[in-house]
Amino acid sequence: MTDIVLETRNLKRRFGAFLATNDVSLKVERGARHALIGPNGAGKTTLINLLTGVLPPSEGQVFLEGEDITSMASFRRVKRGLTRTFQINQLFNDFTPLETVALAIAEREGVGHNFWKSVAGYGRIVDEAADLLSRFGLASVMGERTVILPYGKQRLLEIALAFASRPRVLLLDEPAAGVPEDERHEVLSIVSALPADVTVLLIEHDMDLVFSFANRISVLVAGALFTEGTVAEISADPRVKAVYLGENA
């Protein structure tokens, strides 16, 4: 029997009369490298918001490791191991990567705003943050202000930050988007070396990255699951090509 770690059943989300998520039943297997692709406006962001609890569904359910989490608050989903990467926003610009990740670890540990009261606790958190940052190619810049980092490093910091919550399922949102060519290789090699025990659902436009990373692909079109398959099946599917060509026409 396959081990399904994340599942949606007949998920729907309406915005007024518009159906942005149309009866999506998605299954993500434990340990998968599962990609969610689809043309602009297909509903990828809406589906991620439904999975993370940012948006409530109009109908249907979301399950994490067999538990119905449809009504669970976002932060509780993170505590259960379902985490997404998110774009570093202005809040983090003046922080260093070390401060950013240390704060996230402190948050996970529930020590929050008074963690500095314990020197030993503080040291442990900083050590873990430094270790995490070095795994993501950020050791040499962990004391710099985030705003001055090369863009590829900022994208890697987003992933390191997500790992501070110790995810079992990571929703990885376009990790290479906007990364200049000379930094791409580092981002892609770190993404491809993510720990195998973490299940990854990758939302991505870049087909080279999808085809090199994923072992399962779901194609979303107009809010609905259009087709699903292996890299070989999807890359050879003329209907998928037509969907993307239609977008570029």
Q: In what order do the strands lie in the sheet with 169-173?
A: 82-84, 169-173, 199-203, 33-37, 216-221, 224-229
Pick the stretch among 40-48, 103-111, 120-128, 150-158 that binds ligand ATP (CB under 6 A).
40-48
Tell me how far apart the alpha carbons of residues 228 and 26 are, in angstroms, rounded to a whole number.
9
- Could you give the string, one character per residue 121-150, with x where binding to ligand ATP holds by CB under 6 A and - elsewhere? ------------------------------
43 binds ligand ATP (CB under 6 A): yes
Which CB, 45 or 74, lies closer to ligand ATP?
Answer: 45
Q: How far is CA 142 from CA 111, 135, 149, 156, in A?
A: 22, 12, 10, 12
Pick the stretch among 1-9, 35-43, 94-102, 182-190 that binds ligand ATP (CB under 6 A).
35-43
Which CB, 18 or 90, lies closer to ligand ATP?
Answer: 18
What helix, strand, coil percent values describe the chain, rounded to 5?
45, 25, 35
235-246: burial string, b at 16+ Cβ within 10 Å, e else: eebeebeebbee
Q: What minimum distance in Å lies between the beta carbon of 195 and ligand ATP?
A: 27
Which of 6, 11, 20, 106 is in the footprint of ligand ATP by CB under 6 A?
Answer: 20
Unique residue bearing structure tokens 């194609």: 219
Which of 2, 40, 89, 114 is in the footprint of ligand ATP by CB under 6 A?
Answer: 40
Which of 38, 81, 137, 152 is in the footprint of ligand ATP by CB under 6 A?
Answer: 38
What does DSSP assign to residue 97? H
Which CB, 41 or 246, lies closer to ligand ATP?
Answer: 41
Pick the stretch among 13-21, 134-142, 147-155, 190-198 that binds ligand ATP (CB under 6 A).
13-21
Which of 44, 77, 84, 155 is in the footprint of ligand ATP by CB under 6 A?
Answer: 44
225: left (phi over 0), alpha (psi -120 to 50) or beta: beta
42 binds ligand ATP (CB under 6 A): yes
The neighbour count for residue 119, using CB atoms within 10 Å, is 8
Tell me how far apart the alpha carbons of residues 236 and 50 are, in angstroms, rounded to a whole number.
30
Give 40's contacts (C-beta < 8 A, 6+ positions apart): 247
41 binds ligand ATP (CB under 6 A): yes
78 binds ligand ATP (CB under 6 A): no
Q: What minimum distance in Å lies between the beta carbon of 152 and ligand ATP?
A: 21
Q: Which residues pair with 201 in a beta bridge?
A: 34, 171
Which residues lie near ligand ATP (CB under 6 A)?
15, 18, 20, 38, 40-46
